[in-house]
């Protein structure tokens, strides 16, 4: 890696934006008086269970390049976090990854029940599109529909859901995937939403084609590096340190480059991807400092 940064300023920014995204979600999603309160409580339980808020951070940081108002970028970021959270709630279900704990806390179906968790996930996904379609997100309908389109394409069967399907099949059928297949799986399962998070910043900023394309390229490389780093952390960390059942991905023989290549080669590839992603930011100069730092942080973080 070319440089080791002091990540404290970035962490301060990450925390500040995470707090603002959480505040936005808190305001947008109040608990109603009727019997449907339970599903909203489950949505809020899942949303406010912590997390780095990396995806919403990327939306806000990308939108900042174009001077987008924070009100707009925080709403778009909140929608991205709703989609990410719904995917975690459904992935944790007994029929899927069957996880009882996430970040040391009971998963949504353990804290509530399975039916409520299915519905909470459904409602979070739907709510993301409700938030984006609201005039308060951006006065220009072209921008709002662009946000919806970007998020929907990344989340559905071409993207996140499709990637999860491939991953489940590989596990169930004991398939051994090659590099190319693993790369495609990861780009769909986690890469697509990370790319969408960045791209939504470009959509909000009405970026020209060159800037738009540069940000997508940045996000693709960075997102993949982030996933490799996550897989390395999963392999290396103890269950206590991360607050979730680790080694699980490895035990199940999941399709990751780390399992295929070993830690050293995987880490070297992640470092290469980060350098590649940072190169894509050249045209933005110092304005892209946060995006650059978060890419370096993605592979150097310890949790």
Which residues bind to its own copies, rule: CB under 8 A?
A: 32, 34-36, 38-40, 43, 86, 90, 93, 95-96, 113-116, 118-119, 121-123, 125-127, 129-130, 132-134, 141-142, 144-145, 148-149, 151-153, 155-158, 161-166, 168-170, 181, 184-185, 188
How far apart are alpha carbons 17 and 197 in whole angstroms? 14
Q: Which helix (H) or strand (E) holds 102?
A: strand 101-102
Q: Which of 267, 295, 245, 246 is nearest to 107 (CA)?
A: 245
Query: In the complex with its own copies, which residue's Cβ is closer, 12 or 149?
Result: 149
In the complex, the smallest distance separating the C-beta of residue 151 from its own copies, rounded to whole angstroms, is 8
Query: In the complex with its own copies, which residue's Cβ is closer, 123 or 291?
Result: 123
How far apart are alpha carbons 113 and 276 in whole angstroms? 44
How far apart are alpha carbons 59 and 119 in whole angstroms? 26
In the complex, the smallest distance separating the C-beta of residue 274 from its own copies, rounded to whole angstroms, is 27
Query: In the complex with its own copies, which residue's Cβ is closer, 142 or 265?
Result: 142
Alpha-carbon torsion angle 235, 239, 243, 248, nearest 10: 50
In the complex, the smallest distance separating the C-beta of residue 272 from its own copies, rounded to whole angstroms, is 25
Name the phi and psi angles at 159, rounded to 5. Answer: -120, -120
In the complex, the smallest distance separating the C-beta of residue 42 from its own copies, rounded to whole angstroms, is 9
Query: In the complex with its own copies, which residue's Cβ is closer, 122 or 250?
Result: 122
Query: In the complex with its own copies, which residue's Cβ is closer, 3 or 180?
Result: 180
In whole angstroms, how far apart are CA 213 and each of 91, 220, 244, 264?
31, 11, 36, 31
Tell me what percent of the chain is helix, strand and coil, each rounded to the nearest 5. 75, 0, 25
SS3 101: strand
In the complex, the smallest distance separating the C-beta of residue 156 from its own copies, rounded to whole angstroms, is 4
DSSP tag of 48? T
Query: In the complex with its own copies, which residue's Cβ is closer, 51 or 121?
Result: 121
Query: In the complex with its own copies, which residue's Cβ is closer, 151 or 294?
Result: 151
How far apart are alpha carbons 61 and 54 in whole angstroms? 10
In the complex, the smallest distance separating the C-beta of residue 275 from its own copies, rounded to whole angstroms, is 29
In the complex, the smallest distance separating the C-beta of residue 158 from its own copies, rounded to whole angstroms, is 8
């Amino acid at each position: 890696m070319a440089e080791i940064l002091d990540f404290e300023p970035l962490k301060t920014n990450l925390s500040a934006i995470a707090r603002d995204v959480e505040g936005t979600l808190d305001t947008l999603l109040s608990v109603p008086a009727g019997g449907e309160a339970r599903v909203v409580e489950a949505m809020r339980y899942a949303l406010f269970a912590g997390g780095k808020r990396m995806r919403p951070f990327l939306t806000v940081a990308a939108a900042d390049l174009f001077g987008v108002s924070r009100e707009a970028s925080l709403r778009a970021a909140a929608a991205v976090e709703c989609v990410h959270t719904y995917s975690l709630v459904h992935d944790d279900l007994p029929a899927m990854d069957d996880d009882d704990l996430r970040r040391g806390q009971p998963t949504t179906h353990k804290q509530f029940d399975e039916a409520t968790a299915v519905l909470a996930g459904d409602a979070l996904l739907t709510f993301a599109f409700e938030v984006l379609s609201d005039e308060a997100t951006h006065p220009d309908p072209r921008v709002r529909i662009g946000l919806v389109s970007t998020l929907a394409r990344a989340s559905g069967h071409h993207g996140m859901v499709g990637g999860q399907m491939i991953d489940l099949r590989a596990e169930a059928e004991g398939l051994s995937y090659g590099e190319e297949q693993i790369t495609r799986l990861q780009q769909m399962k986690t890469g697509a939403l990370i790319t969408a998070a960045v791209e939504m910043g470009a959509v909000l900023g009405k970026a020209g084609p060159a800037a738009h394309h540069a940000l997508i390229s940045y996000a693709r490389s960075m997102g993949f590096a982030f996933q490799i780093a996550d897989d390395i952390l999963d392999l290396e960390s103890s269950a206590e340190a991360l607050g979730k059942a680790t080694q699980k991905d490895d035990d199940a023989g999941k399709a990751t480059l780390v399992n295929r290549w070993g830690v050293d080669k995987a880490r070297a590839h992640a470092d290469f991807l980060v350098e590649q992603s940072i190169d894509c930011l050249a045209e933005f100069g110092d304005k892209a400092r946060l995006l650059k730092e978060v890419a370096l942080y993605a592979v150097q973080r310890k949790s």
